[in-house]
Amino acid sequence: MLIYNTLSRKKEEFVPKNTVKIYVCGVTPYDEAHLGHARPSIIWDVIRRYLEYTGHKVKMVQNFTDVDDKIIARSLKENRPALEISRYYSERYLNSMDMLGVKRCDYYPKVSEYIDEIIKMVEGLIEKGHAYEANGDVYFSVESFSEYGKLSGRNVEELRAGARIAVDENKKDPTDFALWKRAKEGEVSWDSPWGKGRPGWHIECSAMSLDLLGENFDFHGGGLDLIFPHHENEIAQSEAFTGKEFVDFWVHNGLITINNEKMSKSLGNFVTVDDLLAKNNKEEIRFYILSTHYRSPLNFTWDGLADSAVL
């Protein structure tokens, strides 16, 4: 089985060993699931089903980022608890994937359920000299990890030179990234050794995968837009913490676009799964998504989806 590995930038043979362990970056549940969410879920559903069909046991994890700036913003706007919003849309997402015929993962961990593990990992990174605290925030020191950039091909010096002028004054280096954020008024927060706060974006996936899949696992999936900074930062903090290679195969899917612009909730140009299912059945939607190479962009049109329905 040959699979393109983003890390090596080439196709490599995958030889399954015992249980195949897969981690796929999930959604930030603050609105309805859309086609951009459906694509990676359907792609990984096919991969998983193939592995199981060929006799392999699969352990699959997809997270929910239920603590995030977008959820907090909606919480403040609607005067509703942030975790109430994220719980509602997490269930909506799972129901949407059910309707698309996506087999449920073995685990759907949430940030809010992993605060203790995240704090423990951040403490470990500080002890190992890979992170530092500054005024209630904790940052990962990119300079401390010599292999930073190996996934994305980014050069640290170029990143430093291209950093915005308004650099966070708490950072020792503009390329450093947040592991823990000091709480702001009105935000959901937890007690920590550095005061009340919440996890940074990247640390959640490292803590969850370490707990559920171990220090090394087979596949990590997600959209091409996650290669940098999210997955690059995951590698840095995970390998700095364990001293071992984090993931064997990095597999990234192309993005869904509308009018050649990325489909996203923040841009308001998304088509929900409910919209799709109102006009097409799940087989037609799955065929439409799988008719384009998984690493290529897919520019959505209703005409294109209609064509899939007649094939």
Average pLDDT over residues 51-61: 97
Measured at the alpha carbon of residue 265, what is the angle toward residues 227 and 279, in degrees to the nearest 5?
110
Rounded Cα gap, residues 229 and 220, in angstroms: 15
Rounded Cα gap, residues 89 and 258, in angstroms: 23
Rounded Cα gap, residues 99 and 104, in angstroms: 11
Rounded Cα gap, residues 174 and 172, in angstroms: 7
Higher pLDDT, 260 or 166: 260
- Candidate from 18-27, 35-44, 152-161 with smallest mean pLDDT: 152-161
Rounded Cα gap, residues 26 and 46, in angstroms: 16
Rounded Cα gap, residues 95 and 97, in angstroms: 5
What integer pLDDT is reported at residue 164 of this predicted model? 56
What integer pLDDT is reported at residue 212 of this predicted model? 99
Residue 309 has pLDDT above 90, yes or no: no
What integer pLDDT is reported at residue 166 of this predicted model? 52
Residue 45 has pLDDT above 50, yes or no: yes
Average pLDDT over residues 220-236: 98
Average pLDDT over residues 40-63: 98
Give the burial class of 276: count Cβ atoms within 10 A of its Cβ; 0-12 exposed, 13-18 middle, 19 or more buried. buried
Measured at the alpha carbon of residue 257, what is the angle toward residues 255 and 261, in degrees to the nearest 5?
115
What integer pLDDT is reported at residue 32 of this predicted model? 95
CB 58 within 8 A of CB 48: yes
Average pLDDT over residues 34-51: 97
DSSP-assigned states of every residue in 10-45: EEEE----SSEEEEE-----SS--BHHHHHHHHHHH
Q: What is the mean pLDDT of the chain?
A: 95
Average pLDDT over residues 211-218: 99
CB 48 within 8 A of CB 245: no
Q: Model confidence over 71-123: pLDDT tens digits?
A: 999 999 999 999 999 999 999 999 999 999 999 999 999 999 999 999 999 99
Residue 217 has pLDDT above 90, yes or no: yes
- Name the pLDDT band for 310 (thresholds 50, 70, 90): confident
Rounded Cα gap, residues 53 and 149, in angstroms: 36
What integer pLDDT is reported at residue 165 of this predicted model? 44
- Candidate from 128-132, 134-138, 168-172 with smallest mean pLDDT: 168-172
What integer pLDDT is reported at residue 169 of this predicted model? 82
Average pLDDT over residues 11-21: 95
What integer pLDDT is reported at residue 161 of this predicted model? 81
Q: Model confidence over 123-132: pLDDT tens digits?
A: 999 999 999 9
Higher pLDDT, 275 or 164: 275
pTM beyond cutoff 0.85: yes
Q: Model confidence over 240-292: pLDDT tens digits?
A: 999 999 999 999 999 999 977 888 777 778 899 999 999 999 999 999 999 99
Residue 308 has pLDDT above 90, yes or no: no
Order of strands, edge to edge, in the sheet holding 217-223? 58-62, 20-24, 217-223, 247-253
What integer pLDDT is reported at residue 291 of this predicted model? 96
User: What domains sit in the chain, N to C, each tagged with a CATH number?
Assistant: 17-133+200-310 (3.40.50.620)
